[in-house]
Structure 1
Amino acid sequence: MPSHARPSRFRLSTAIFDLLDPIPFGFFVAALIFDIVYAYSPDVLWGKGAAWLISIGLLFAIIPRLINLAHVWFIRSRPAAYVEKIDFWLNLIAIAAAIVNAFVHTRDAYAVIPQGIWLSAFTVVLLSVGKVVLATQKAGFKEFRHE
């Protein structure tokens, strides 16, 4: 089976990106779970835990997004695919929503509940859609043809 991957001079940055890119998604999903549990629990620990998870997820989102910024917009060795640009913008909007969510989580007690859950869910949905868009490009729908 021939490989359709393009050789890249930027193997180290691609490896770092591939290593660090899934980490923020895990933190944001955990924050969504903590927010949902906090909505049904009187324990403030869940809300504070969600705030920490969002903050750590944002810290881990910085390096992959900077690498993605360089690969998609500044490196001219290969033109960026349209789906890579869509993924970049979806991730950028998700990070902006997570930043707003971090500010929402600085509120006291149950003032976090309605907006915190919606912003956490919005962040997770945007990141998920970005991953699905990239997966459809990588699959190329060639596996689904009958030959």
Structure 2
Amino acid sequence: MSRRPVHPLHAILLAFPIALFASALLSDITYLKSGEMQWSNFSAWLIVGALVFGAPVLLWAAIGLFRRRRDPERTRALVYFLLLLVMWIAGLINAFKHSQDAWSSVGAAGVTLSIVSALTALAAGWTAYSGERIAR
């Protein structure tokens, strides 16, 4: 049995939150080590970019989940949707956290939210791309 491949546009859009949330995490770590405020600004911009590209991916996954009501791949689609939902909500809270002033913008809570966002983005990417099979 072959699984449906990820739509190319969906795959391109999903690549952005994966890269941007992971980059925001690295930027947060750099900020904690250097104290240079511009790294926190970079993180905030990267998080907003990830949220912008993550929103259509989340919507696409929700529609896909709704369309697979009787499909044997429904469990996989549900896991994928939930990972994206956690990624996006953690990213949104992280964006609010990064809008605070100076050191309080990143701290332990900001880094934790960055870790959650990055790991769930990577897990969602793994779930989406590992289901891709070439039909013979």
TM > 0.5 fold call: yes
Change (3 A) 1:86 1:22: same
CA root-mean-square deviation: 2.4
Which residue of structure 2 lines up, in the alignment, with residue 104 of structure 1?
97
Q: Residues 35 and 50 of structure 1 are in contact (CA less than 8 Å); yes or no, is this contact kept in structure 2? A: yes
Return the index of the structure with the highest Cα Rg: 1
Q: Distance in 1 between matches of 2:35 and 2:85?
A: 33
Superposed structure 1 runs of 4+ greater than 6 Å apart? none
Unaligned runs of 5+ in 2: none
1:44 pairs with one of 25, 37, 45: 37
* More helix as a share of residues: 2
Give TM-score scaled by structure 2 length: 0.84
Q: Tell me the TM-score normalized by structure 1.
A: 0.78
C-alpha deviations, 1:28-62, integer Å up to 9, x for none? Answer: 00000000000011210000110010011100111
Number of paired residues? 131
Aligned pairs for 1:8-19 (under 5 A) are: 14-19=7-12
Q: CA deviation at 1:124?
A: 1.2
2:23 is matched with which residue? 30
For structure 1, the 5+ residue unaligned runs are 140-147
CA distance in structure 2 between the aligned counterparts of 1:72 and 1:108, rounded to whole angstroms: 39
Residue identity opposite 1:26 in structure 2 = A
Distance 1:136 1:60 in 2: 21
Identity %: 26
